[in-house]
């Protein structure tokens, strides 16, 4: 059985959060289900619900945010993929034991009160992966 139970969200880096929210509204009639400032990452998010998953629009609110550096280097676009797991701690320990490089040695609090941990893109075929426990 896979440790990944659902696609939780796709994180998209943008310069202007309001412009991105307006675009999704205009193009698809999509509305924001949740907004949050995630201080640990220096970002503002707007979540747009798509079935049981989300599009997570992300914009940095400070230049010291890692996302600001990402935007500088790579420009706007897909930043990470969030997979839902039953137990973030167990899933993280498992991939570490199997040799995956991780960004977070231990799970931490994400948006919506979730528990999250990031795997490094270097050992994941170029994709920053977030494990999300609801
Ligand atoms: Co995320």
Sequence-separated (6 or more) residues with CB below 8 Å from residue 79: 11, 12, 13, 58, 67, 70, 128
Mean pLDDT, the chain, whole residue set:
96
pLDDT > 70: percent of the chain: 100
Digit-coded pLDDT (tens) for 57-79: 999 999 999 999 999 999 999 99
**Is 72 considered catalytic here?**
no
What pLDDT does residue 40 have? 87
Task: Supply the CATH number for residue 111's domain.
Answer: 3.10.180.10
- Could you give the CA distance from residue 73 to residue 36 in angstroms, rounded to a whole number? 25
- On the question of pLDDT at 4 being above 90, the answer is yes
Tell me how far apart the terminal alpha carbons of the chain are, to the nearest angstrom: 19
- Among the listed residues 18, 34, 39, 56, the single catalytic one is 56
Residue 7, beta-bridge partner list: 83
- Span from the CA of 86 to the centroid of ligand 1 (angstroms): 16
pLDDT at 1: 85
pTM here? 0.94
Structure tokens at 110: 């994400």
pLDDT at 76: 98
Count the domains in the chain.
Answer: 1
Domain span at 98: 4-133
What is the 55 CA–ligand 1 centroid distance (Å)?
A: 9
pLDDT tens digits for range 12-46? 999 999 999 999 999 999 999 999 999 989 999 99
Active site residue 86: no
Residue 113: what pLDDT? 92
Ligand 1 mean position to 76 CA, how many Å? 15
Give just the sign of the alpha carbon dihedral 68, 45, 31, 77. positive
């Amino acid at each position: 059985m896979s440790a990944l139970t659902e696609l939780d969200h796709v994180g998209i880096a943008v310069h202007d959060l309001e412009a991105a929210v307006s675009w999704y509204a205009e193009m698809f009639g999509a509305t924001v289900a949740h907004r949050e400032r995630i201080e640990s990452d220096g970002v503002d998010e707007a979540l747009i619900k798509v079935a049981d998953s989300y599009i997570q629009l992300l914009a940095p609110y400070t230049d010291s945010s890692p996302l600001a550096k990402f935007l500088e280097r790579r420009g706007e676009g897909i930043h990470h993929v969030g997979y839902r797991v039953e137990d973030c701690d167990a899933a993280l320990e498992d991939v570490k034991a199997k040799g995956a490089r991780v960004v977070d040695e231990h799970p931490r609090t994400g948006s919506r009160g979730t528990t999250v941990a990031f795997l490094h893109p270097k050992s994941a075929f170029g994709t920053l992966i977030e494990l999300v426990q609801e």
